[in-house]
A and B are shown apart, each in its own frame.
Chain A
């Protein structure tokens, strides 16, 4: 069974530029999560989707971050404009919901110069 797929794996941009990350969850998983992980810290939830509905986006900085999951499968996370402090690993995870196990993708390592 294929795991969670993320692209790109690495991205280097200059500050104030836009950037987008893509995630394809495990087939059949209706719940999708985006996390941000800084060095030496645990993942922090940015947004959680149940199918195409964002059910928890309380931690998403909405002035510059946006996300979508239009057909309830793939998802895109965007930052515009990027700031130096956005440098981190952005992890996507999927699961069947509730307390079911979350499966993480390999992440996108973002560096903002």
Chain B
């Protein structure tokens, strides 16, 4: 079983729709969680951190469920510019970052 698992997609949704991704992790001792965004042929960039209490940044909401060992990302009122690959990142012991495979999202006009 992979340490961090994501549905690779692709997800194709119409502009304005709400879309959600989940990411599961296997190590219950994982400490910190992030979502990164990666555009085609570009480097990954931090989108947002994920806290136990959940956090929101504009149209984006991230949540953590430690009991079930998953994190989620919700995008409301999706824009064409949201088209990208979304990478789930989990920090395990000794500051080891583990990336998921990424979920590819395409927003259609």
Contact A41 B95, CB 8 Å, known A99-B32, A105-B43: no
Interface of B is mostly: strand
In the complex, which range does the number of interface residues on chain B fall in? 20 to 34
Q: Which of B45, B91, B102 contacts A41 (CB 8 A)?
A: B102
Query: Within the assembled complex, what's the spacing in Å between the Cα atoms of A40 and B9?
Result: 11
Tell yes or no: B31 within 8 A of A by CB: yes
Contact A97 B43, CB 8 Å, known A41-B102, A42-B87: no
Q: Are A107 and B43 in contact (CB under 8 A)?
A: yes
Query: Within the assembled complex, what's the spacing in Å between the Cα atoms of A81 and B6?
Result: 33
Query: Within the assembled complex, what's the spacing in Å between the Cα atoms of A5 and B98?
Result: 23
Tell yes or no: B96 within 8 A of A by CB: yes
Q: Are A99 and B43 in contact (CB under 8 A)?
A: no
A residues near B, CB below 8 A? 33, 40-45, 48, 55-56, 91, 97-99, 101-102, 104-107
